[in-house]
């Protein structure tokens, strides 16, 4: 984390800064040490403006002086890195959350009607003959019931599948690729993880997966799946690999 590394370096640089206990600075640069000392201060200030504009200048300078003189220390030096790291991890999490919220609002504004259409489809579909609905909202039809074992979340399975949008558009198919797919049950979308554990080896199910159990507002860039799309999969469980 660049910001954390930079602020930790400040602690090391502080040992060579030429400040006295009253915080008085020289007003002229008479030699190389003066020049480098001043340049280091300017460089740190420049980086602080970019990375941590909220800095309390008085406490920052007090910390620098305390680090140089080893006096009036307010924080256990052994805890400095932990304090800095924790603070900036929290800041970065807040920035990520804000960006995600802004991105979600933008997508909802553009694809809100599609989201409502998907919800309407699932609401109507769940009352159709043969459709089962789980507590999470996953819908499925048993096309063929197998007699083998059922996989767990930690199993790896081999399947044939066809993935479609609700209008029937096929966006992926192992059958078209000419070979089954093998993957861990807990490494796929939530709807697959739940649905596969309902199946016995030899079964073929048709899943209707709500967008929140699929790719939600942010499907793969450049793919055929639009934001908020419920997905339909025909899945045949061929084998539990392990």
Which one is catalytic: 205, 215, 228, 240? 215
DSSP state at residue 27:
S
Q: Judge whether 111 counts as a catalytic residue.
A: no
Query: Which two tokens mark 167?
Result: 């209008």
Which one is catalytic: 6, 88, 140, 161? 161
CB 209, CB 231: distance < 8 Å: yes
Q: Judge whether 205 counts as a catalytic residue.
A: no
Which one is catalytic: 140, 208, 228, 233? 233
CB 83, CB 8: distance < 8 Å: no
Which one is catalytic: 80, 142, 189, 225? 189
Q: Judge whether 189 counts as a catalytic residue.
A: yes
Q: Judge whether 183 counts as a catalytic residue.
A: no
- Tell me which H or E stretch contains 85: helix 80-125
Q: Judge whether 233 counts as a catalytic residue.
A: yes
CA-CA distances (angstroms) from residue 187 to 162, 217, 233?
A: 18, 19, 17
Q: Judge whether 171 counts as a catalytic residue.
A: yes
Q: Which residues contact 7 (CB under 8 A, 6 or more apart)?
A: 51, 52, 84, 88
Catalytic residue annotation = 161, 171-172, 189, 215, 233
């Amino acid at each position: 984390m660049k910001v954390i590394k930079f602020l930790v370096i400040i602690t090391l640089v502080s040992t060579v800064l030429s400040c006295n206990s009253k915080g008085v600075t020289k007003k002229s640069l008479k030699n190389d040490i003066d020049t480098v000392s001043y340049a280091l201060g300017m460089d740190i200030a420049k980086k602080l403006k970019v990375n941590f504009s909220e800095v309390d200048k008085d406490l920052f300078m007090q910390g620098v002086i305390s680090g140089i003189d080893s006096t009036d220390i307010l924080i256990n030096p052994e805890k400095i890195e932990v304090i800095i790291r924790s603070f900036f991890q929290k800041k970065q999490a807040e920035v990520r959350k804000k960006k995600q919220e802004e991105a979600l609002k933008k997508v909802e504004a553009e694809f809100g009607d599609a989201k409502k259409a998907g919800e309407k489809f699932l609401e109507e579909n769940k009352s159709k003959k043969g459709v089962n609905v789980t507590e999470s909202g996953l819908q499925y039809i048993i096309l063929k019931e197998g007699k083998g074992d059922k996989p767990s979340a930690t199993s790896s399975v081999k399947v044939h599948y066809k993935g479609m949008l609700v209008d029937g558009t096929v966006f992926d198919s192992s059958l078209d690729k000419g070979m089954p797919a093998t993957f861990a049950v807990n490494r796929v979308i939530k709807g697959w993880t739940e649905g596969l554990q309902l199946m016995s080896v030899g079964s073929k199910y048709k899943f209707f997966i709500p967008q929140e159990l699929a790719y939600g507002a942010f499907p793969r860039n450049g793919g055929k799946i639009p934001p908020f799309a419920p997905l339909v999969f025909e899945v045949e469980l061929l084998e539990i690999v392990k």
